[in-house]
Amino acid sequence: MNDVWIDREPTHDSPYWPFRKVGAADTSAGMEQIPYIIVKYLMDLPDGTGYEPPSDNRYPRARLKKLLYWDCPLPLDKPLPTPEQTKAMMFDPENPDRPPDAERGYRFFPQNMTQQAMSKSKSLVRVYLGDASGMLSRDAFITRQDVMFDVIVNVSIESNTGMTASSRAYDIVQAIREATAGVNFGGIGALTFRRLTKIDDEKNFLGYKIYCYIDWCEGAPNPYFS
C-alpha cells in the first residue's frame, strides 16, 4: 500500500493528525498475523476449494501432523489425523475458549505460549515473532523480522519414531523446514532459514529452536487503514 498521506497537508482523516507524514517507511502492519498464517498452513486443512490434505509421508506437512498427533511408536505408520483432530491440537487466539484435544492438549501454538502446553502435551510447535531490525535497501526501508519456531518433545517419546534419525524433535524440525523453506507467507520474499539451536533441560523436555526471517516493506498492505 502506498501511503496517500505522504507530503499531504494533514486533515482530521489522517492517521498522523496533526503532524505531516513526510516519507515512506515500513510499519510492520500485518506482520502480527504471520505466526497465525504459518501455523494454519502447517496444519494443512481442507480450504473449501476441493483440496484434500495428502496422507503420504512424502509430504512434509503430513509427516508433521502424524509426529505431533501420535505419541506411540512408529507414528508415521499411523493414519493422518482428521481435520477435526488437527484443529483440536491448535490453540486458536481467535477462539481461546475452545477446548483442546482431551488426551493430547494443545500442540500447535501461533504465539509463544507454555502454560497450556506442558500439562498434557508430549510434543508441540510454537511459532512467534522474535527480534526485528531495520535496513535501507535500494532506497526502500525494510524490516527484517525474525520468525521463531520452538519444537519441544517429551523425552519419553523422543526416540520411538522408528526412523533412522531416532529423534522425533529433529524429524519435526525437518518437516517444518521442508514445508516452509522458500515459501512467501507475506512481505517481500520467502521465509528464510537463519540458524538452528538445541533446547535441552536434560530431564523432561528437549527439542530445537528454528530461527528464520521474513522481510517486510512499506508497500505491504495495512489491514487497519487503507
Whether the per-residue pLDDT at 9 is higher than 50: the answer is yes
pLDDT for position 140: 74
209 burial (CB, 10 Å; 0-12 / 13-18 / 19+) is middle
Judge whether 122 and 106 are in contact, CB under 8 Å: no
Nearest to 58 by CA among 69, 48, 66: 66
Q: Which residue has the higher pLDDT, 22 or 121?
A: 22
pLDDT for position 113: 56
pLDDT for position 80: 97
Query: Residue 4 corresponds to which cell in the numbers above?
Result: 496517500
Whether the per-residue pLDDT at 84 is higher than 90: the answer is yes
Whether the per-residue pLDDT at 127 is higher than 80: the answer is yes
Confidence class of residue 112 from pLDDT cuts 50, 70 and 90? low
Q: Which residue has the higher pLDDT, 201 or 50?
A: 50
Distant-in-sequence, close-in-space partners of 192: CB < 8 Å, separation ≥ 6: 212, 213, 214
Distant-in-sequence, close-in-space partners of 50: CB < 8 Å, separation ≥ 6: none
Query: Residue 179 corresponds to which cell in the numbers above?
Result: 514445508
Whether the per-residue pLDDT at 137 is higher than 90: the answer is no
- Does the predicted model carry a pTM greater than 0.85? no
pLDDT for position 10: 85
